[in-house]
Amino acid sequence: MPSNYTFNASMSCSASSDSGYGASQSGSFSLNITQVNSVQSGRKEIALTNTEICAAPSGTGMAGKIVYVRNLDKVNFLEVHSVATVDTNVIGILEPGEWLFTVLRDDQAVGASADTAVIDIEYFAVEIDDQA
């Protein structure tokens, strides 16, 4: 695959109370990825059993992955976990419409499981090298 990918991320979030209090945070960063073994993105169906989102990073210099998952279902929630085992090493619980984003520098796979019925997700998973 071609080398030298550039990954850009930015986000903002805010929490507010009906009292009028609010707090917000934001961030942005850019990642230069010089070796990529795997780039996956699109939509995927998640079963009630573990469904792999990305395999454990492999290959010389591979050191982790960046992962985004969004629950596209209208009713049911979704669990996203490391090590690809249901109810183990849970990263997040996504209600309909919610999403998560993480950078993991380890050699584990990432998987997901639906709660009560098969769920569609929007996602990307990009392996990153040890310099990224």
Partner 1 sequence: MAIQTTSFTASGTFSLTDAEGTTVFSYSPSFTSSSNVASISITAGEVLAGTTAVDILIGGEDAAAVAASNHDRIYTFVKNIDSDHSIEVSPAGQEDASSMECADLKPGEFFFAPMELNSDANTTTSLTVGNGTSAQKVQYLLCDAIDN
* CB nearer partner 1, residue 115 or residue 120: 115
Nearest to 113 by CA among 41, 45, 42, 39: 45
3-state secondary structure of 86: coil
Question: Smallest gap, in angstroms, from Cβ of residue 21 to partner 1?
Answer: 7
Dist. CA 127–CA 129, nearest whole Å: 7
Question: Smallest gap, in angstroms, from Cβ of residue 39 to partner 1?
Answer: 6
* CB nearer partner 1, residue 55 or residue 103: 103
Question: Smallest gap, in angstroms, from Cβ of residue 93 to partner 1?
Answer: 5
3-state secondary structure of 18: coil
Where do contacts with partner 1 occur on this chain (CB under 8 A)? 2-19, 21-25, 27-29, 31, 39, 41, 64, 68, 70, 77, 79-80, 82-83, 87-95, 97-106, 108, 115, 122, 124, 126
Q: Nearest 5°: phi and psi at 66?
A: -110, 135
